[in-house]
Amino acid sequence: MSLHTLSLAQLAKGLRAKEFSSLELTRMLLARIEASQPKLNAFVTVTREQALAAAAAADRQLAEGSAGPLTGLPMVHKDLFCTEGVRTSCGSRMLDNFVSPYDATVVAKLRAAGTVMLGKSNMDEFAMGSSNETSFYGPVRNPWNPDLVPGGSSGGSAAAVAARLTPVATATDTGGSIRQPAALCGVTGMKPTYGRVSRYGMVAFASSLDQGGVISTTAEDAALILRAMAGFDPNDSTSVDLPVPDYVATLDAPLSGLKIGLLKEFFDKGLDAENEKRIHEALAVCEKLGATLREVSLPNLPLSVPAYYVVAPAECSSNLARFDGVRYGYRCKEPRDLMDLYKRSRGEGFGAEVKRRIMTGTYVLSAGYYDAYYLKAQKVRQLISADFKRAFGEVDVLMGPTTPTPAFPIGAKTSDPITMYLNDIYTIGANLAGLPAISIPCGFAGGLPVGLQIVGPHFGEAKILNAAHRYQRETDWHTRVPEAYR
């Protein structure tokens, strides 16, 4: 087996056994990244020099015996995590010239753990998109077929892992931005419980929904990275002060007696028939492992997309008010006065979809509309959250599809924002309720990957990683690599 197809856990063993060095591994992946860039455009920045220096330092630690479990392992950060001394563009012209003055907590923790950053992955602008087509740096292409989207907003992270340019990548999920691209690229994508992972230094989109997580090839690797990135952070006021369990230790627990809820609302006419078959096959594997299936209904779930498209833009319009052309970011040429400076810097610095969301949010928060839209959406959010709570009184985890269809062609949905928004129809519920969820590969439809979604109760990461890992021990879908990247 070649080095690039090994999982993070396998690479960790190889580094320790001195089968290869971190420097060799890093050089090999940098070469793959550079060769793939014209085809996939998965990166905004490749940090070659820093990566080689970090790998050399890791090799010294490995030789001395002072290495931790992640020392010398390469990874990629989504380009909305601040990385000290390195540009953090957020996929936007607005931040094209922004060099992070400090590390995000997630980056600092993974750096301290000894990981080697290879670069920063491309993404939808400010994480607003489901196809990676809104990036200022151009779309990312799907490694399974370059005419198709990789999903979004963490499209660069998902494509990079799928093409085996990196074993793992950080990502963020506000309405499905980890799970949806993971599904469309045939990789594993883990969104933790809201508050589990620090948001400090992660450029904010919708603060009550945003959550950092990881894209990897296996659930085991997701557990390894999550264990290192999760935990309380005094710099994030919504960070939860609860101990981080050892997600790796519980991966192999048996699934006998696990009660799986099938979300009735997910198996509807909108679900592609081939996708649906793959999901039922995956559920049969879980049954074989001793789990039991039962249908559950979340009657308010169909309103999750409209609720999200009030709450998320409202929070976005507040968060993105900080981009004023004064303190950092893009500034227009020759402003006439201060108002002109604000308006043109923002009008020229933001792309079309970001402006659409800012205006949607501005409108729903404006005088006379607040109760009808924003307050109403927050009440519906409460109903959806209560639906999930009821379901978790009956079952341990929920399973269903991650997306209605496999990857779609670049350009197919750009003209109609609502059609694009409906890509996240199965993922948004977990964000509104703050629940952890994972997408894992469960087969192919028309030659394209299909994702199985597993949703858990608050802080139920260990259980969903356990279920995903046991499924991956029985199947090999997660080991499939697109032909051009084998």
Partner 1 sequence: MYDFALFSAVTSAHSRTFCNGNSMALTREQIENIAHLARLALAPAEIPVYQQSLSAIFEFVGELDRADTARVQPMAHPLEGLSQRLREDRVTETDHHERYQANAPQVAAGLYLVPKVIE
Strand order in the sheet with 448-455: 43-46, 116-121, 74-78, 168-173, 211-216, 188-191, 437-445, 448-455, 397-401, 259-263, 292-296
- The least distance separating partner 1 from the CB of residue 279, rounded to whole angstroms, comes to 15
At what angle are helices 219-229 and 8-16 packed, to 10 degrees? 80
- Which string of DSSP letters, residue by residue, matches 359-428? HHHHHHTSTTTIIIIIIHHHHHHHHHHHHHHHHHHH-SEEEEESSSSS--BTTSSTT-HHHHHGGGTTTH
Q: Which amino acid is at 298?
A: L
Mark whether 177 is an active-site residue. yes
Active site residue 78: yes
Least gap, CB of 388 to partner 1 (angstroms)? 10
Catalytic choice (22, 121, 177, 239): 177
Minimal distance, residue 260 CB to partner 1, in Å: 21
List the end-to-end C-alpha distance of the chain, in Å, as a whole number: 10
SS3 169: strand
Dihedral angle of Cα 278, 282, 283, 289, to the nearest 10 degrees: 160
Q: Residue 472 is inside which H or E element, if any?
A: helix 461-474
Query: Which listed residue (36, 78, 100, 154) is catalytic?
Result: 78
Identify which of residues 143 and 451 has a Cβ nearer to partner 1 in the complex. 451
User: Which single residue is written with the structure tokens 């392992």?
Assistant: 73
Nearer to partner 1, 101 or 409 (CB): 101
| Choice between 325 and 451, CB closer to partner 1 | 325
Least spacing, CB of residue 268 vs partner 1, in Å? 5
Q: Which is nearer to partner 1, 292 or 362 (CB)?
A: 362
* Set 36, 153, 198, 345: catalytic member: 153
Let me know: does 255 contact 290? Beta carbons within 8 Å: yes
| 239 belongs to the catalytic site | no
Residue 13 phi/psi, 5-degree rounding, is: -65, -45
Q: Which CB, 117 or 307, lies closer to partner 1?
A: 307
Q: Which residue has the tokens 């010294």?
A: 60
Residue pair 62/293 in contact (Cβ under 8 Å)? The answer is no
Instruction: Give the shortest CB-164-to-partner 1 separation in angstroms.
Output: 33
Q: How far is the CB of 317 from partner 1 (least distance, A)?
A: 6
The reply to whether omega before 153 is within 30° of 0 (cis) is yes
State the nearest-atom distance from the C-beta of 170 to partner 1, in Å: 21
For partner 1, the closer of residues 246 and 268 by Cβ is: 268
Compare residues 50 and 385 and give the one whose CB is closer to partner 1: 385
> Are 464 and 456 a contacting pair, CB within 8 Å?
yes
CA 408, 413, 414, 420 dihedral sign is negative
Q: What is the DSSP letter of 197?
A: B
Residues designated catalytic: 78, 153, 177
